[in-house]
């Protein structure tokens, strides 16, 4: 950071826009660091959690199903996940934390082939042979042989697709594999996403070794150092949670790939919000319509209030409307994609194909994909093959003898940028097509029950054996895209905020923080809370 961030004065006021996980954790850290500061959280809706939402339905047979409408798993490699686990510890909710082992059945991943079969990403010799024999890697191998001899290019950002086309001489790797991975993370397009932002290590390998292969060999020889704890986590241990022991926690998490929460991820924002109740001023149903960081004013309806610092956690295209500043509007604008999410539940295990259990599958760009399917998550497998990390765990809906199937279809994303976003009956038709084509679930054999956000089911409903419950939502502009040029934009945003507003506003959330995942958002909250406290 170039300019020093001004500390909030004693008994000062901070406005937080948005009660999603970013706004909540930012307030949580600030509250611990500086109990004198008065925090006001403005939230346009009536609930906390933002995209994190675990919908619960009572099946009237003694069991309850929850459908994750947004995020569901947290990657353990992210430092933010360590932080989240410690917060849950502090809030007495460790019984919720379930972990998945790296060698678990539910960690198997698949790619959808052009003939609509699931091809396992190798996890054994047998699957490796099948993968190599499938044909999807033929051109990749050809390209790799010549890779060390291809010249490197001058420094300039380019798309993931351009980068690999240059290195490998063809698009096989991007079209058949890498595009699928980024469908899963960003719902984004490899022809647009920035290689500098998404694969900084690859760019570095080319830069220092002239070739990815040569670079990878050199790395192997020199060995890799274990990652060290970031400074923000060390400060967190010193100033917020003296009992946290991240090194110990890391040991405990060895071999664990990801975590989930037994009653749904929404447990996390709910627990943080409950801990803030009484000490933080929550304003629900309060949409902020104008802000001026130079005076610290925040406008809601007709009232204007003044603050020493404004924390925005909202979509930055929306934020630029609140600022009404053309220069900022330009740099803050990002492309966001919309995702159609369909949660599907059956009482019997009829959806996930026999012998192909796992985390789910992703659809590469090479797939002729009329429904714009990005991928499918096998939630019930994730639930079945995760176990409590701490001793006092609660038992959830999935006893080892239950047999339900639950999956989530992710549809749309960047594909919707150049087509019409479907609505109503068209959405239902596309979901039906996917179910029939890939899972062999037909309307003639099953009773498909659709739920859309405008007509929610009652929270209690009985399901029959051949009922297929399908609950869908179109999440508009839900994921910002780190497209070519993003890093430059990000640097410009932070320098403009310093020069124009003397850092009296800061940005959290997915757009210009540490990344799009929940752990990234929580790390960004911590970093900035430490700065102004
Ligand atoms: C479909 C989907 C799946 C995902 N899966 C995963 C996953 O498995 N793992 C993972 O780590 N991450 C995942 N993510 C990312 C994760 O959801 C985000 O990182 C996280 O939820 C962002 O939280 P936030 O608080 O920054 O933003 P939001 O959740 O967007 O919160 C912003 C809040 O601001 C409010 N608001 C907006 N405008 C105003 C205004 N003008 N005034 C007042 N309030 C306003 C909104 O109502 C909202 O509550 C997924 C995201 C999506 C969309
Ligand atoms: C740290 O742990 C000790 C012993 O378990 C406990 O008494 C103390 O309250 C904890 N401190 C904090 C800040 O949580
Ligand atoms: C859940 O996992 C167990 C193994 O731990 C397996 O036997 C069972 O078939 C799985 N259930 C479902 C519905 O896949």
Same domain? For 404 and 421 the reply is yes
Of 359, 260, 274, nearest to 52 by C-alpha is 260
Considering the domain boundaries, does residue 243 fall inside one?
A: no
Q: Identify the residue whose C-alpha is closest to ligand 1 atom 7.
A: 71
Considering the domain boundaries, does residue 235 fall inside one?
A: no
Considering the domain boundaries, does residue 315 fall inside one?
A: yes
- Please identify, by atom number, the ligand 1 atom nearest to the C-alpha of residue 47: 49
Percentage of the chain beyond pLDDT 70 is 97
Q: Identify the residue whose C-alpha is closest to ligand 3 atom 13.
A: 403
Same domain? For 196 and 180 the reply is yes
Using CB atoms within 10 Å of the CB of residue 23, give its burial: 0 to 12 exposed, 13 to 18 middle, 19+ buried. Answer: buried
**Domain count of the fold of the chain:** 3
Q: What are the average pLDDT values for consecutive 10-residue runs of the chain, which has 533 residues?
A: 78 98 98 98 98 94 92 97 98 96 96 95 95 92 92 87 95 96 98 97 93 90 78 98 95 95 97 98 97 96 95 97 92 96 97 96 94 97 94 64 92 93 92 96 95 85 94 96 97 96 96 97 98 96
Same domain? For 446 and 392 the reply is yes
Same domain? For 342 and 437 the reply is yes
Q: Is the CB of 384 under 6 A from ligand 3?
A: yes
Q: How far is the CA of 53 from the centre of ligand 1 (A)?
A: 10
Q: Single out the residue in 434, 458, 479 at which a domain terminates.
A: 479
Question: What span, in angstroms and rounded, lies between the C-alpha atoms of 160 and 519?
Answer: 24
Using alpha carbons only, give the angle 106, 112, 118 rounded to the nearest 5 degrees: 55
Q: How far is the CA of 299 from the centre of ligand 1 (A)?
A: 22
Q: How far is the CA of 242 from the centre of ligand 2 (A)?
A: 8
Q: Is the CB of 104 under 6 A from ligand 3?
A: no
Same domain? For 395 and 422 the reply is yes
Q: Which of 350, 400, 404 best tests ligand 3's pocket when mutated (most atoms within 8 Å of CB)?
A: 400
Considering the domain boundaries, does residue 193 fall inside one?
A: yes
CATH number of the structural domain spanning residue 462: 3.90.660.20
Of 25, 453, 415, 52, nearest to 263 by C-alpha is 52
Same domain? For 93 and 166 the reply is no
Considering the domain boundaries, does residue 512 fall inside one?
A: yes
Considering the domain boundaries, does residue 238 fall inside one?
A: no
Q: Is the CB of 87 under 6 A from ligand 2?
A: no
Same domain? For 362 and 426 the reply is yes
Q: Single out the residue in 195, 222, 249 at which a domain terminates.
A: 222
Same domain? For 146 and 280 the reply is no
Same domain? For 439 and 342 the reply is yes
Contact yes or no for 170/145 (Cβ under 8 A):
no
Backbone φ and ψ for 524, nearest 5 degrees, come out as -65, -40
Q: Single out the residue in 198, 222, 246 at which a domain terminates.
A: 222
Question: What span, in angstroms and rounded, lies between the C-alpha atoms of 435 and 423?
Answer: 18
Q: Is the CB of 411 under 6 A from ligand 1?
A: no
**Which ligand minimizes its atom distance to the CA of 53?**
1
Considering the domain boundaries, does residue 5 fall inside one?
A: no
Chain segment 359-389, per-residue pLDDT in tens? 999 999 999 889 999 999 999 999 999 999 9
Q: What pLDDT does residue 397 have?
A: 56
- Please identify, by atom number, the ligand 3 atom nearest to the C-alpha of residue 349: 13
DSSP 223-278: --PPPPPPHHHHHHHHHT-TT--HHHHHHHTTTEEEEEETT-TTHHHHHHHHHHBT
The contacts found for 117-122 with CB under 8 angstroms, 24 or more apart, are 118/353, 118/356, 118/361, 120/356, 120/358
Same domain? For 503 and 462 the reply is no
Question: What span, in angstroms and rounded, lies between the C-alpha atoms of 158 and 487?
Answer: 11
The helix (H) or strand (E) run that includes residue 112 is: strand 109-112
CATH number of the structural domain spanning residue 278: 3.50.50.60
Q: Is the CB of 74 under 6 A from ligand 1?
A: yes
Residue range of the domain that includes 212: 126-222
Q: What pLDDT does residue 226 have?
A: 67
Considering the domain boundaries, does residue 435 fall inside one?
A: yes
Q: How far is the CA of 357 from the centre of ligand 3 (A)?
A: 9
Backbone φ and ψ for 190, nearest 5 degrees, come out as -60, -20
Q: Identify the residue whose C-alpha is closest to ligand 2 atom 11.
A: 243
Q: Which of 384, 404, 406, 407 best tests ligand 3's pocket when mutated (most atoms within 8 Å of CB)?
A: 384
- DSSP 8-state assignment for residue 94: G
Whole-model pTM? 0.96
- Distance, CA of 486 to chain centre: 18
- Please identify, by atom number, the ligand 2 atom nearest to the C-alpha of residue 90: 14
Q: What pLDDT does residue 399 have?
A: 62
Q: How far is the CA of 46 from the centre of ligand 3 (A)?
A: 38
Q: What pLDDT does residue 20 have?
A: 98
- Please identify, by atom number, the ligand 3 atom nearest to the C-alpha of residue 405: 13
Q: How far is the CA of 94 from the centre of ligand 2 (A)?
A: 15
Same domain? For 184 and 305 the reply is no
Q: What pLDDT does residue 398 have?
A: 59
Same domain? For 404 and 451 the reply is yes
CATH number of the structural domain spanning residue 215: 1.10.3110.10
Q: Which of 25, 47, 50, 187 best tests ligand 1's pocket when mutated (most atoms within 8 Å of CB)?
A: 50
Q: Identify the residue whose C-alpha is closest to ligand 1 atom 4.
A: 71
């Amino acid at each position: 950071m170039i300019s020093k961030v001004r500390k909030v004065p004693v008994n000062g006021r901070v406005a937080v826009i948005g009660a999603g996980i970013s706004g909540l954790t930012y307030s949580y850290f600030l509250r611990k660091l500086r109990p004198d500061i008065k925090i006001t959280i403005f939230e346009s809706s009536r609930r906390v959690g933002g995209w994190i939402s675990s919908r619960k339905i009572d099946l009237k047979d003694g069991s309850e199903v929850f459908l994750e409408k947004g995020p569901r798993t947290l990657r353990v490699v992210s430092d933010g996940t360590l932080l989240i686990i410690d917060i849950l510890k502090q809030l007495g909710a460790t019984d919720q934390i379930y972990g998945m082992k790296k060698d678990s059945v539910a960690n198997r991943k698949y790619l959808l082939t052009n003939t609509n079969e699931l091809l396992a990403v190798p996890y054994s010799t047998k699957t490796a042979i099948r993968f190599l024999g499938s044909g999807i890697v033929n051109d990749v191998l050809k390209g790799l042989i010549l890779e060390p001899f291809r010249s490197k290019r001058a420094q300039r950002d380019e798309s993931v697709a351009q980068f690999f086309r240059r290195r490998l001489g063809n698009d096989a790797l991007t079209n058949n594999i890498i595009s699928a991975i980024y469908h899963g993370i960003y719902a984004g397009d490899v022809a647009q996403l920035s290689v500098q932002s998404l694969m900084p290590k690859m760019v570095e390998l080319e830069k220092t070794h002239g070739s990815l292969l040569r670079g990878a060999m050199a790395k192997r020889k020199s060995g890799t150092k274990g990652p060290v704890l970031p400074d923000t986590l060390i400060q967190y241990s010193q100033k917020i949670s003296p009992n946290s022991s991240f090194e110990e926690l890391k040991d405990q998490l060895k071999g664990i790939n990801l975590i989930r929460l037994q009653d749904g991820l929404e447990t996390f924002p709910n627990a943080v919000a409950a801990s803030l109740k009484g000490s933080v001023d929550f304003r629900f149903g309060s949409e902020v319509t104008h802000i001026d960081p130079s005076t610290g004013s925040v406008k809601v309806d007709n009232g204007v209030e003044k603050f020493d610092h404004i924390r925005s956690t909202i979509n930055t295209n929306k934020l630029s409307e609140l600022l009404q500043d053309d220069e900022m509007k330009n740099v803050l604008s990002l492309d966001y994609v919309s995702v159609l999410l369909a949660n599907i539940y059956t009482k019997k295990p009829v959806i996930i194909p026999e012998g192909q259990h796992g985390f789910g599958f992703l659809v590469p760009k090479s797939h002729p994909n009329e429904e714009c399917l990005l991928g499918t998550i096998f939630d019930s497998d994730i639930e079945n093959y995760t176990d409590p990390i701490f001793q006092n765990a609660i038992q959830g809906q999935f006893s080892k003898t239950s047999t339900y199937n639950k999956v989530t279809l992710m549809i749309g994303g960047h594909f919707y940028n150049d087509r019409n976003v479907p609505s109503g009956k068209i959405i239902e038709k596309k979901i039906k097509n996917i179910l029939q084509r890939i899972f062999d679930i037909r309307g003639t054999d099953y009773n498909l029950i659709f739920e859309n956000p405008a007509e929610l089911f009652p929270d209690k409903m009985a399901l029959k054996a051949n009922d297929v419950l399908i609950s869908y939502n179109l999440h508009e502009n839900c994921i910002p895209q780190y497209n070519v040029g993003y890093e430059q934009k990000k640097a410009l945003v932070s320098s403009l905020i310093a020069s124009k507003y003397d850092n009296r506003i800061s940005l959290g959330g997915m757009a210009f923080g540490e990344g799009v995942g929940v752990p990234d958002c929580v790390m960004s909250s911590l970093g900035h809370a430490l700065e102004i406290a």
